[in-house]
Structures are given as structure tokens and as C-alpha cells.
Structure 1
Amino acid sequence: MVDFDVVTLPDTDHVDVGDTAPDFTRPLVNEEFWEDASLSDLTDEGPVLLVFYTMDGAFPATYVWNEIRDRGWGRNGEGDLTVVGLSISDPYAHKQLIEERGMDYRLFSDPQNGVAEEYGIVHDLDGMAGVSEPRPAVFLLDEDRTVEYAWVAQEWPDFPDYDEVESAVENL
């Protein structure tokens, strides 16, 4: 039995295929520490799969990162793809998620949700005035930050078609 309501999200004018993804600088967290980094720092090194997800600890975050981890995307220097996440959770929560999930990925921390605003994917949380998070979204970016693939949730909860994302990565 499902103990939550599926909610249809309003249409959004989000960053899409062919657009240049907005650059940003936020704390980037790994298993040991965090430091300010920009998206362009990552794309300068090669293609990036930018994964927006709900706050750490929410079940959708667990599902998304377990799937990405299990598929081994961009892990241990395999290929030239960098997989990086972004949510409103603070660096301490990110370090905990990385440890608990056994993740080999870095996560941007954006507590004010400004990056989601720039990408057109803000999701206002019901019953929490002034609190928002990014709606789940995946953007595959080339070295120039051109969006090669985009998926944005149309309902909550919603998850990307992982086979479709994998195919886009392989065709990059």
C-alpha cells in the first residue's frame, strides 16, 4: 500500500536540450571534505551528468543514488563522465548520505535552492511556507555545458528512465 499521494507538478520552463546550462558555484562534497566548486570546473574536464534530487534522507534520493551507484555510472575514473548530484541538503547531510549509501560521487549543496531556480525546476514543498527543493531532474552536459539530454519530473515522486539516460550517455 502506498502511503503518499502522487502529485502532478505544474508545467515548467526548464533548461532543455540544446540550451547552455547555467554555471554556478556551490560547496561540492565528497566522502572526506567539501570545497566551493563551479559546474564549469567539472565540464572543463569532460561531460557531466548533473542529477537534481530531493533532500537527503527522503526516499526518492535513496532510490536515485542506489540506482546510479548500482549501474556504476562515472565511477572510479571509468570513462570520462562525471556524475554529480545537487540538492538543498547541507554539506553535513551530504557526507552522511555518501557514507550510508557507499557512494563514489560528489554532491553540490544548495540550501537556498538558487540553482534549481536558474534551471527552472523549483518545487515548493506543501505545508512549508518559503521552503522549496529542486524537482527531480537529470541533465547530461557536454564540455561546453550544452545540454545533450534532459529529463525533468512531471509528478512527485517521479524517477528518470535510467535505461534512457544510459543510452544518452553512451551516445555522447
Structure 2
Amino acid sequence: MPETGDTAADFTAPLANGDIEEFTLSERLEDDAPIVLAFFPGAFTSVCTTEMCAFQDRLASFNDLDATVYGVSRDSPFTLNEFRDQNELEFGLISDYNGEIIDDYGIEMDFADLGVYGVAKRSVFVIDGDGEITYAWVSDDPGVEPDYDEVEAAAEDAA
């Protein structure tokens, strides 16, 4: 699992932003950094919806810091676009449908009692323009949301 000071694992994945585009982390660093990657277990679930809506509520503050927020989950890009639409999210959601990013970041978890495997632990990473992780938060409890003030402060520090 990456920690503060580590280089963020690069990846390419579908970005649901109303359309579906290719997203490569290393290519976005110059224009979008600091980047906030907010991993969540699954679209349309209660805590995940609350979390993504909380990031939406704070989006103006992140924009003021020139920080770019992206949600990341195992959901398909089509599901993520519907999730964006229904919750009026104005930031992109990255589809890690094959679980490769979750694996690279070491944040995989299972809900074995539900038959759901390989989803993301609720996690937030702030990445600066050099690709360095300047903030890392990972929860083993899927019901716990990040400290949004702390994430915002980390994005400000990385700007």
C-alpha cells in the first residue's frame, strides 16, 4: 500500500465524465495536479453515495486550489456515468473494472458474506505534480468516510 512520499502507481483506465475517455494518471499530472483519487467500494451504495456527494459539495474549494478530484471504483464506466448523472457529480469517475489499480495501490477488500470480491477499500490519495503521494488515507471499515477537511488541506499543501 503506498504511503506519503511514495511515487503514485501510474495507470490507464476509462474515465466516466459524461462520455467515456481514456485516463492516464501520468498524463494528467501536469494540468490537473494536485490530483485527489478517492477510491470507493461501489456506486449506488449508501456510504459511497454520501462520500461522492460530499466531494461534490466541496468541489468549488478543490477547484479554488487548482486540485482535481476523481472517484475510483470497480464499477463499469457506464454504471459510473449513470451514478454521476443521478447524483449530479461534476467530477470524473475512473473505472477500475479489472481491479488493476486497486491491486497496484494494495487496497483490495472483499465482502465475502455478500459474494463481492476485489473492491476498493475506501481510500484517498493526494498526488502532486511530480507524481508523489503527499497524502494517503485508507480505511479498513467501509462505513467510515474520510476527513474531508484533512483531504482539502492536503490538496492545498500539494498545490
Question: Which structure: greater helix fraction?
Answer: 2
Alignment CA distance shift 1:142-1:98 (3 Å): same
Aligned length: 157
Which 10-residue stretch deviates more, 147-156 or 21-30?
147-156
Counterpart CA distance in 2 for 1:84 and 1:145 is 15
Q: CA deviation at 1:22?
A: 0.2
Alignment CA distance shift 1:52-1:73 (3 Å): farther
Counterpart selection for 2:108 from 122, 144, 148: 122
Q: CA deviation at 1:78?
A: 3.7
Matched, 1:64 2:51: yes
Percent identical among aligned pairs is 31
**Matched AA of 2:94:** F
- In the alignment, what sits opposite 2:25? 39
- Cα shift readout 1:79-109 (whole Å, capped 9, x = no counterpart): 4211111100001111111111111100111
Counterpart CA distance in 2 for 1:99 and 1:90 is 14
**Matched AA of 2:53:** N
Q: CA deviation at 1:129?
A: 5.4
Q: TM-score, normalised by structure 1?
A: 0.85
Q: CA deviation at 1:171?
A: 2.1
Alignment CA distance shift 1:73-1:120 (3 Å): farther
**Gaps in structure 2 of 5+ consecutive residues:** none
**Matched AA of 1:111:** Y
Aligned residues: CA RMSD:
1.7
- In the alignment, what sits opposite 2:8? 21
Q: CA deviation at 1:36?
A: 1.5
Larger radius of gyration: 1
**Matched AA of 2:8:** A
- In the alignment, what sits opposite 2:35? 48
